[in-house]
Amino acid sequence: MRRMEGKVALVTGAAGGIGRATALRLASEGASLYLVDLADEALAETVALAEKEGAQVVGARCDVSDEADVKKNVASCVERFGKLDALCNVAGILLLDHFPDISVERFRRVLEVNLVGPFMLTQAALPHLLETKGSIVNVSSTSALAGMPYGAAYGTSKGGVSAFTRTIAVEFGKHGVRCNAVNPGSILTAMAGPDVVPKDADYKLIMRAQPLDEPRPPEVVAAVIAMLVSEDGVHINGEEIRVDGGTLA
Ligand SMILES: NC(=O)c1ccc[n+]([C@@H]2O[C@H](COP(=O)([O-])OP(=O)(O)OC[C@H]3O[C@@H](n4cnc5c(N)ncnc54)[C@H](O)[C@@H]3O)[C@@H](O)[C@H]2O)c1
């Protein structure tokens, strides 16, 4: 399938996990890519892998929580490729804490990266997406839909991402720009490692949210993101798609 031939996509969080899988999936479908992350070395690996797929690729360091960085990178994407067709807001952080221990600083940091980041990227990208009638996919989480123990900051940020997605969808759908979200759960990436669980956590609570079959690799999420930004998703707007193996069915 070469659904993204002639299209330009900007993917955040492209150094690993779901962001890298998304970049490689879009590359294999013919997209030109502007890939950003904070992790320079791992990002360079993604760039090399995407180039192997035959894509034109730029990799750039960008902190999605830094407004100047975000504006600069969206501008240089359009300068390099002449347009923007798809924005994939994948970058995110997961900080888990017992609720009484969450510092305001940590709570704010999670919101800055996971929610303010997609807001700033969307605002910077919108003029260009309006020109191409492009689309946005935000990576939310099952924690936006059901309580996640120790995830007051994370769940709140992802709930915001879901609401933000619907707002953009209704405000710009009539102008041809679609905005959707995916809600992954139990995806095998660096983020999902056991070291993020706080000390003395109640594993019974954590085990409430398990897929019906097994955890899956990030490619299963990338496939849905690729569908949503492609012409196959043309009539899908303001939707959230769970990619969680039935955890919340
Ligand atoms: N893995 C899961 O089970 C799961 C479940 C639900 C949602 N998600 C979401 O999927 C997205 C991708 O996560 P992942 O699982 O691939 O984890 P990951 O840790 O492999 O990838 C996250 C990427 O975001 C980058 N990043 C972090 N802060 C950044 C910043 N300020 N600016 C730019 N880049 C930054 C990291 O360097 C990393 O490459 C996240 O938004 C996450 O919340 C993951």
What would the pLDDT profile of 203-234 be if each residue is shown by its tens digit? Answer: 999 988 999 999 999 999 999 999 999 999 99
114-140 pLDDT per residue, tens: 999 999 999 999 999 999 999 999 999
According to the model, what pLDDT value does residue 1 have?
Answer: 85
The pairs formed by 163-171 with CB atoms below 8 angstroms and a separation of 24 or more are 164/115, 164/118, 164/119, 164/122, 164/138, 165/136, 165/138, 165/140, 165/238, 165/240, 166/238, 168/122, 168/136, 169/237, 169/238, 169/239, 170/238
Whether residue 183 is predicted with pLDDT greater than 90 in this model: the reply is: yes
154 is catalytic: yes
SS3 61: strand
pLDDT for the residue numbered 95:
97
Section 39-48 average pLDDT: 98
Domain boundaries, given as residue ranges, for the chain: 8-242
pLDDT band at 194 (very low <50, low <70, confident <90, very high): confident
244 three-class SS: coil
Percentage of residues of the chain with pLDDT beyond 70: 100
Q: Which residues line ligand 1 (CB under 6 A)?
A: 12-13, 15-19, 37-39, 62-65, 90-94, 113, 139, 141, 184-187, 189-192, 218
pLDDT of residue 143: 98
Spatial contact of 222 and 182, defined as CB atoms under 8 Å apart: no
91 C-alpha to ligand 1 centroid (Å)? 4
Rounded Cα gap, residues 43 and 19, in angstroms: 10
- Cα separation, 118 vs 51, in Å, equals 26
Q: Are 63 and 38 in contact (CB under 8 A)?
A: yes
pTM of the model as a whole? 0.98
Burial 155-189 (b: 16+ CB within 10 A, else e): bbbbbbbbebbbebbeebeeeebbbbbbbbbbbeb
For residue 240, the cross-strand partners are: 181
Ligand 1 closest atom vs CA 187: 3
Closest CA to 225 of 26, 16, 17, 14: 26
Report whether pLDDT(192) > 90.
no
Say if residues 183 and 211 touch (Cβ distance below 8 Å).
Answer: no
- The pLDDT value recorded for residue 237 is 98
> Cα of 103 to ligand 1 centre, how many Å?
21
**235: which residues sit within 8 A by CB, 6+ positions away?**
none
Q: How many A from CA of 226 to the centre of ligand 1?
A: 17
Cα 142–216–209 angle (5° rounding)?
35
pLDDT confidence bin for 54, thresholds 50/70/90:
very high
Nearest CA to ligand 1 atom 25: 13
195 has pLDDT over 90: no
* 4 vs 53: CA distance, rounded Å: 13
Q: Ligand 1 pocket test: which of 191, 195, 240 has the largest number of ligand atoms within 8 Å of its C-beta?
A: 191
Mean pLDDT, rounded, of the chain: 97
8-242 maps to CATH 3.90.10.10: no
> Which position has the token pair 């979200």?
181
pLDDT for 20: 99
Contact of 77 with 34, CB cutoff 8 Å = yes
Which entry of 34, 150, 154, 203 is annotated as an active-site residue? 154
At residue 49, the pLDDT reads 98
